[in-house]
Amino acid sequence: MVEWQESLSIGMLEVDIQHKLLFEKFNAFLAACEAETEADGIYRLFWFLEAYAITHFNEEEKLMQRVGFPDYLKHREKHLAFAGEIAKLKEQLKHEGPTHTLVSTMTMFISGWLVNHISSMDRAIARFVA
% of the chain at pLDDT higher than 90: 63
Task: Express each pLDDT in 61-87 by its tens digit.
Answer: 999 999 999 999 999 999 999 999 999
What domains are there in the chain, each with its CATH number?
11-129 (1.20.120.50)
| 53/110 Cα distance (integer angstroms) | 11
Question: How high is the mean pLDDT of the chain?
Answer: 92
User: Of how many residues is the chain composed?
Assistant: 130
Which residues, 6 or more positions from 50, have their beta carbon under 8 angstroms from its beta carbon? 83, 86, 87, 90
pTM beyond cutoff 0.75: yes
The predicted pLDDT at position 17 comes to: 94
The predicted pLDDT at position 67 comes to: 96
Q: Mean of the pLDDT values across residues 107-113? A: 90
Q: Mean of the pLDDT values across residues 41-63? A: 92
pLDDT for residue 39 is more than 90 = no
Task: Express each pLDDT in 9-27 by its tens digit.
Answer: 999 999 999 999 999 988 9
How far is the CA of 115 from the CAs of 1, 73, 128, 130, in angstroms?
Answer: 13, 20, 19, 21
